[in-house]
Amino acid sequence: MAAKATTTIKQVLNHQAEHGAWFAANQVLFNRVTAFYFGVIQAHEKVLALSDKDALTALEKLTHTTQSNPTPVMPLEEILEDIPALFRRAAINAALGSARSFSSHLQKWRKRKEKAEAKGKGFHERPPVPPRAWNKSATLYAGMWKERAGSSMVMKVWTGTCWSWVKVRIIGRDLPTDAEIGSPQLIRRGNQWWLHTPVEKQFKSPGKIEKQVTTNAQTRMCAVDLNINEHLAVCTIQTVEGTILATTFIGGGRRISGFRKKQLGRIARNRRKTGMIAEGEQDNADLWRKIRQVDEQVAHLVSARIVQFAQAHQASILVFEHLGNLKPEKGKYSCRGNSKRAYWMKGRIFNYAKYKAWHIGVITSRVNPANTSRECHRCHSLVIRYNAGERAEGYTPGASLVRCSHCWMQGHADRNASLVIGQRLIARYQTPLKEKPHAPVRRAGREEKSSGVALSQEAKSKSRPSTDLAGYGESNEHGTAQDGLLRMDERLSDIPCQLRLPFE
């Protein structure tokens, strides 16, 4: 089975100083033309009902003067004569994209308004507004560039006074030779100009999980326990036959949570002051944006680290647990908001990891989350969970250590959970044993469902819910049960565990 992956290759341009001014002029013109077409579309909304291809034809007819179309309704010539067709088309497609997005926002707003009014409620949300300023990067369609070699390219730009072919030198990683090259964009970053080129690669998609698990006992899985405490993610690598190969702890949870709490506290104070509860209030809008940005970046960092770890250890399957339901928390606004956002972030980390993993041929699955923290990864009895320095008894949720009074396994609680998560995936494909030497943890909870993300296949659940894994001990794991706690019995990851968080 083949699949496609798109990435963007980013390269810096090395050019004569005056060319920088030309690129800038080119971009200004591109935005003027895009804004012009956005206006044309607003005046002819029916265009949006057409496909991109038909919309392009319709918009050219409305604007482009030819012999057979001597008097278009809104001539583009009013902006500039002799705009190359490919420049025009790139701008039209950019305008179409913006117009479609604006139109869908507007429709959603109208629906919310109707709904509120039907219920007799007041509706104070402001309608979306069309873009006031345009700051798009010019896309160079084939024909606007030529002679693209490893380290140079020739492209046609508007200099401010005329159209000119310019040769630039390209610095940065080369384009892959085995991929389809898309239209590059000319992008400004400070004083630098960059070329961003989308490339589409065909690759062999990973084999189905069932096949990988049932035909090769050496198949490696990377299991991930996502948390809302300090260790945002704890990942373990194990083979299908049960050898544990590596563990990594991805930290930073406390700092991100502290950051969020601080911002949410500020928002709460602002609200008390103004008596406003709308998220859109300007004072708070900035704070919300900041929180969202940081959450987003952290999710990207953590997911990238997970996939990097899986790849470094040649894992071909990534396993998470289903998120379960968000349990509403009582307490201060900042606490409630924080745990809600932490929960959302887990979902994001999963989605991003799944996407990134797919691109390197690693398939992602999810297992039933019930009691993954309460079960011993070695013998599947219930564990004791406690904090360092406390007596090892009972079960303290969130505590960092576990001990099994059955087989004397002891170790880090999240690492144990991660190993159990990995084993649950294997358990799906095991024929359940008839005898159960240990009382297995009752795995309540609902049947797993496919998460519905288009980019992956979910393994089909075939196993019965309580498969005993007594045969899946750690016979190959170095280290013994007694010293498993502090001696990391596996190869330590060479991937740094501390994230540099974006707000630091």
Which positions lie near Zn ion, rule CB under 5 A? 376, 378-379, 381, 404, 406-407, 409
Phi and psi (nearest 5°) for 219?
-55, 130
Could you tell me the two tokens for 341?
């956002």
Within 185-281, residue ranges assigned H as helices are 209-215, 253-274
Within 44-193, residue ranges assigned H as helices are 52-63, 85-118
Could you tell me the two tokens for 181?
């090259």
Q: Which is nearer to Zn ion, 378 or 424 (CB)?
A: 378
Q: Which is nearer to Zn ion, 310 or 379 (CB)?
A: 379
Q: Which is nearer to Zn ion, 414 or 448 (CB)?
A: 414
Could you tell me the two tokens for 249?
């702890």
Phi and psi (nearest 5°) for 196?
-105, 120
| Cα-based distances in Å from 263 to 257, 284, 338 | 10, 9, 10
Place of tokens 């390197």: 360
Could you tell me the two tokens for 311?
């790849």
DSSP states of 451-472: ---TT--PPPP-S-S----TT-
Q: Which is nearer to Zn ion, 202 or 480 (CB)?
A: 480
Shortest Cβ 256–Zn ion spacing (Å): 33
The Cα 194–Cα 185 span in angstroms is 8
| Cα-based distances in Å from 334 to 230, 269, 296 | 18, 10, 19
Q: Which is nearer to Zn ion, 301 or 407 (CB)?
A: 407
Could you tell me the two tokens for 502?
């974006």
Shortest Cβ 474–Zn ion spacing (Å): 10
Shortest Cβ 365–Zn ion spacing (Å): 25
Shortest Cβ 469–Zn ion spacing (Å): 11
Shortest Cβ 384–Zn ion spacing (Å): 10
Shortest Cβ 482–Zn ion spacing (Å): 13
Q: Which is nearer to Zn ion, 221 or 409 (CB)?
A: 409
Shortest Cβ 263–Zn ion spacing (Å): 42
Q: Which is nearer to Zn ion, 321 or 375 (CB)?
A: 375
